[in-house]
Chains A and B, each alone.
Chain A
Amino acid sequence: MAGELIPKDDAAAERGAPAISVRDLRVNYGDREILHGISFDAPAGQTLVILGGSGSGKSTLLRTLVGLENPTGGSIWIRGRDFASMKESERDELRKRMGMSFQSGALFGSMTVAENVALPLREHTNLDRSTIDIMVRLKLNQVGLSGFENYMPAQLSGGMRKRAAVARALAMDPEVLFFDEPSAGLDPIIAAGIDDLILKLKQAFHITILVVTHELASAFLIADRMILLIKGNIVADGTPEELRQSTHPRVRQFLDRVPEKELTAEIDYLQMLTGEIPPERQ
């Protein structure tokens, strides 16, 4: 049973023990190393935002944390167990306690919104149909989508699709909720609505939330802790205030939105690929 596998450790959670600890995590795509041995903690019941630009490896990190990519080294500790070295069946048990909201929503196009949200409940629980219907309505209500049960995903707007995806991620009452670029491709008002939703979920359910994004305004609004990931390395890890005060050149460049210098020489290009910063730019 999932309950035995992940003992509820409320006391530890209250003390702010990490829900997820990542140690020296390395991930390769073929011969190319994307994450170069990163370590961080996601405190239980808090929102951790993983900031990073395009190609920083932040989406790879998220995919690895939910088990879609296999690390080549290091460990991912979730509730005291190493997720990276678990058997697939054990991972599945843990996955039932995690929710993931994909960048595109990833709703099943052939099912209605309600069927999408009901799917994990139908597959993993023995609840009867009417109970599942009630739970689905509850979840949709939580994300502000009451009355859209019978819509197909294609009939929804971008923001509504994201909300529906959150409702599906919440279906199994997860302990950890992952968001991949929650506000990507949305207009500022709709994006602010998604930020509000994330804040509301944290306050209402005290779940651990991990958000991967490159949207600064949204990140500072929702984060309790932040990590800045650049070219597969963590260059900053702290509270939003600590990041704001940081004098680290890479952090400043990212937060002040300074464009990368044009790559003119071959050595610049090589340095960009390897992630090493030339001394004169530090």
Chain B
Amino acid sequence: MPLAEQIGGATLSWLAYVGNLTRLTSGAARAVFIDPFRGRRVKWSRSMHQALAVGVTAIPVVSLISFFVGLILALQAAYELRRLGALHLVAGTVALSMTRELGPLMTAVVVIGRSGSAFAAEIGTMKVNEEIDALETMALEPVHFLVAPKFAAMLLMMPCLTTWSDLMGVFGGGVFGVMSAGFTSHTYLEATIDALVRRDIFIGLVKSAMFAIVITAVGCQEGFTTGLGSEEVGKSTTAAVVKSIFLVIVMDLVFTSIFYLTAPR
């Protein structure tokens, strides 16, 4: 096949994929934000169940990873800052990097591994077992029944987890700061608060909400497009993780660029 045709074909299939993600997301958003006002009942118990699975049970691993990332950031920053005699800037560097970038990103990676893959596996298994067909014949819309609760749970829990991740990252940086950079816990906290402005935290939370949408859409989409056979469920799960990580990074780049260009100078 000629190269141009291959590139064209790949571009079209990606565009179609993004189109499907958008359709799934708009369907879920309608079910969560609009349908309740039209008298269509939403079963919040399913969302709560998902919120527990997505958010609460992820706290230990998010805490540990964020703590380590904060510590690593401090070590790396200190390596360079020490040469410049600016070790006191460690606190600000860690705080900014965590809230604007690594908090949302590391949380997204953990949630992709735990929940994005689980969404694909759950819906994929249901597809293979004809359960999705069964839902449709019972006049239960799969997007309303399966995707909407996940969407609501993710949209609620990702910003919460990200905030927690930011705190744990700062704590990790603080451990280094107190032990090796001459801070007390009080001065480290003060330096952190001085370095941060409200916009930094806001940027991180906007990103985390966007990541939540991407992870839910990709996980569910991969589940719905699972082929026949249990092997296909495995493939969908892998695809959900790989595509989610890719799209989250792309989205991160887009948002970071937008925030950079619109930053007050």
A binding-site residues for B, Cβ under 8 Å: 63, 66-68, 91-93, 95-96, 98, 100, 102-104, 106-110, 119-120, 123-124, 168, 178
Given A100-B134, A102-B134, A106-B134, are A93 and B139 neighbors across the interface (CB < 8 Å)?
A: yes
Residues of B111-125 whose CB lies within 8 A of A:
122, 125
Tell me whether B206 is interfacial, beta carbon within 8 Å: no
Q: Is the CB of A104 within 8 A of B139?
A: no
- How far, in angstroms, from A119 to B141 measured CA to CA in the complex? 13
Some 10 contacts from A to B, beta carbons below 8 A apart, are: A66-B137, A95-B136, A95-B137, A96-B139, A100-B134, A100-B137, A109-B129, A109-B131, A168-B138, A178-B137
For the A-B complex, the count of residue pairs with Cβ-Cβ distances under 8 Å equals 53
Asked if A106 contacts B130 (CB within 8 A), the reply is: yes
Query: Do the beta carbons of B136 and A67 come within 8 Å of each other?
Result: yes
- Closest approach, in angstroms, between the C-beta of A95 and any C-beta of chain B? 4
CB distance from A34 to the nearest CB of B (A): 16
How far is B125's CA from A246's CA once the two chains are assembled, in angstroms? Answer: 44
Tell yes or no: B200 within 8 A of A by CB: no
Q: Give A63's nearest chain B residue, CB to CB.
A: B133
B137 to chain A, nearest CB (A): 4
Closest Cβ of chain A to B116, distance in Å, is 18
Chain A contacts of B130 at CB under 8 A? 102-104, 106
The distance from the CB of B128 to the nearest CB of chain A, in whole angstroms, is: 9
Residues of A within 8 A of B136 (CB): 67-68, 95
Question: Of all chain A residues, which has the CB nearest B137?
Answer: A100
User: Chain B at the A interface: mostly helix, strand, loop or mixed?
Assistant: helix
Q: How far is the CA of A120 from the CA of B137 in the complex (A)?
A: 10
The reply to whether the CB of B140 lies closer than 8 angstroms to some CB of chain A is: yes
List the B side residues contacting A68 at CB < 8 Å: 133, 136-137
B residues contacting the other copy or chain, number (CB 8 A): 15
Q: A residues within 8 A CB of B129?
A: 104, 106, 109
A135 → chain B, closest Cβ, in Å?
15
Instruction: Tell me the smallest distance from the CB of A219 to a CB of chain B, in Å.
Output: 22
Residue numbers in B under 8 Å from A104 (CB-CB): 129-130
Complex CA–CA separation, A27 to B213 (angstroms): 36
Taking CB atoms, residues of chain B closer than 8 Å to A63 are: 133
Determine whether the beta carbon of B133 is less than 8 Å from that of A123: no
Q: How far is the CB of A167 from chain B (nearest CB, A)?
A: 13
B124 CB to closest chain A CB, in angstroms? 12
Instruction: Decide: B139 and A106 in contact? CB cutoff 8 A.
Output: no
Closest to A100 in B: B137
Min distance, Cβ A63 to any Cβ of chain B, angstroms: 8
Assembly CA distance A93 to B145 (angstroms): 17
Smallest Cβ-Cβ distance to A91: which chain B residue: B139
Chain B residues near A91 (CB-CB < 8 A): 139
Contact of B131 among A96, A100, A108, A178 (CB under 8 A): A108
Complex Cα spacing A103 to B129, Å: 10
Q: Is the beta-carbon distance between A124 and B131 smaller than 8 angstroms?
A: no
For A110, the chain B residues whose CB sits under 8 A away are 122
What chain B residues lie within 8 Å of A123 (beta carbons)?
A: 138, 140, 145
Residues of A within 8 A of B138 (CB): 95-96, 100, 119-120, 123, 168
